[in-house]
Amino acid sequence: MYRSSTMMDTTSESKRLGAVKLSRVTFRATNRDGDPLALKTPTAAQSSRGTANVKPAPSEGAPKPTETKKPGPSISLSGLLAAQRITLRLKNQAALRRKARARTPNRKPITIINEQVPPGSANPPQRFPYALAKELIEEFLTSKLRNVTYDPSTSADLTKNLCEDIKKIVRKVTPPRYKLICNMAIGSKNREDILMTSQCLWDSYSDNVTSCSFENSTMFCVAMVYAVYTE
Surface-to-core class of residue 73, CB atoms within 10 Å of its CB (0-12 exposed, 13-18 middle, 19+ buried) = exposed
Rounded Cα distance between 89 and 94, Å, is 9
Half-sphere exposure in the Cβ direction for 49 (13 Å, CA): 5
One-letter identity of residue 219? M
Q: Which residues pair with 178 in a beta bridge?
A: 229
**Three-class secondary structure of residue 213 per DSSP:** strand
Please name the helix (run of DSSP H) or strand (run of DSSP E) that holds residue 179, with its range, or none.
strand 178-188
Q: Give phi and psi for 227, each to the nearest 5.
A: -120, 115
Phi, psi at residue 18, to the nearest 5°? -65, -40
pLDDT in tens, 122-165: 889 999 999 999 999 999 999 999 889 999 899 999 999 999 99
Choose among 198, 210, 207: nearest CA to 133: 210
Mean pLDDT, to the nearest integer, of 95-113? 72
| pLDDT higher than threshold 90 for residue 1 | no
Q: State the average pLDDT for the chain.
A: 75
How many CB atoms lie under 10 A from the CB of residue 141?
A: 21
Q: Dihedral of CA 184/189/190/193: which sign? A: positive
CA R_g for the chain = 61
Give tens-digit pLDDT for 168-185: 999 999 999 999 999 999
- Where does residue 197 fall: left (phi above 0), alpha (psi -120 to 50 degrees), or beta otherwise? beta
Q: What is the mean pLDDT of residues 47-72?
A: 52
List Cα–Cα distances, 90 to 77, 81, 86, 97, in angstroms. Answer: 20, 14, 6, 11
Judge: domain 130-229, CATH 3.30.1140.40: yes
Mind listing the pLDDT tens digit for each residue in 184-195?
999 888 866 777
Residue of 213, 166, 226 whose CA lies nearest to 187: 213
